[in-house]
Each structure stands twice: as structure tokens, then as C-alpha cells.
Amino acid sequence: MVARLLLFLALLLPAPAAAEPLAGSWALEVGGAEIFRFDIARDGDGKWHGTWSKPSSFASDGNNFSHLTGPAKSVPSMTALETPDGIELSFDDPRPGAVPDIFDFKPIDSDAVEMIYVGTKLAPYTLERVKPGTPLGPWDASATYSREAPPQQAEAAPEKAPEPPPAVDPGTFKLKPGTPVGR
């Protein structure tokens, strides 16, 4: 009886963070260099949080990364939301008038996650599991690191609405003589 009670209680407890498929360190590697690292964990209260490690300065269109310089800086997440398939983390963007950077993470397998940069039309990124504290780089500030984004599916052309029949000008409609009108 006691064993059953203990088993029941164990099933009610949350799984340890190590068992969480999204918990851990995840890196975006492009052209042989670690561009970003995200460290994702649950705290003692079961709330998600993350840290985004990135170059202190860089230029990017989302697929190409250039002018990368260090040292790396770490930005803590502002908020974390659980989604049906994973978690969404938001990070402050301190530039004047900028909105937070929001990333949606979903597990692919035990060694990879898919990350979507929310609010952009960029193809998803694949991040690989790395050891905590894995350094970013090495970068060449004069190089451009380009990821090969998955091909975008061609958007289907919107179905063209059928053209309405031409309007009939009431003044041009004439009845043949002898045609009965109304009853």
C-alpha cells in the first residue's frame, strides 16, 4: 500500500529539468562559427527562462551574419510562454523604438530544436545541442556567415474570382415587336 502511494506521488511531481526536451544549451552554427547560443531552463517554481548569448555587435538580415565582434554578451529573457509544442522566449531589444525579439522553440529530437523568429517571414532555424558555456565564434569580423535557409514553399496564386457578366445598359435592351411583356 505504501509503495503504491509513493509511486502515485512520484507521478504527480514534475519531471527534473534535465528530462525536459528543451532544457539545455542550443547553438546556431553557421559557416563553422557559433553565432548564437540559447541556454534554456526551468526554475524551481517550474517557470521557463532563457539566456541569449550573441556577439556584442553584428549585422544580419536573418540569413546572413556579418561584422561579428566580441566579446559575447548574454541577454536574459523577459518572458517565457509555454506553447502547445514548446516554449516562446522574448528578449529586450534596447534600440530606440525596437520591439522585443521573440523566439519560438520546439524540440526536433534530443540533440536539435527548431527555432522560429516570431514576427518575421524567415525560415525556421535548426539549433544543435551544445555543452553549457560553449563559447561563441570563432568569428572573422570581415567575413559574412550565410545560412542556407530551407527553400520557401511557393505561395499558391490566389484563385482569381470569376469576372461578373458585363452590365446591361437598360437603355440598350429592346424587345422585338410582338413579344409579350409580363402577364
Q: What are the mean pLDDT values of the chain's consecutive 10-residue runs (183 residues total)?
A: 44 45 96 96 95 96 95 96 96 93 97 96 96 96 88 53 51 48 48
**42, 48 in Cβ contact below 8 A?**
yes
- Extract the C-alpha cell encoding 156: 499558391
Helices vs strands, H then E, count in the chain? 1, 12
Q: Give the E-state strand segments of 98-170 in sequence order.
A: 101-109, 112-117, 125-130, 144-146
pTM of the model: 0.72
Give the separation between CA 110 and CA 100, rounded to whole angstroms: 28
pLDDT attached to residue 5 = 41
pLDDT attached to residue 28 = 98
pLDDT attached to residue 13 = 43
**149, 34 in Cβ contact below 8 A?**
no
Give the separation between CA 145 and CA 2, rounded to whole angstroms: 59
pLDDT attached to residue 3 = 46
To which residue does cell 502515485 refer? 8
The amino acid at residue 165 is P
pLDDT attached to residue 114 = 97
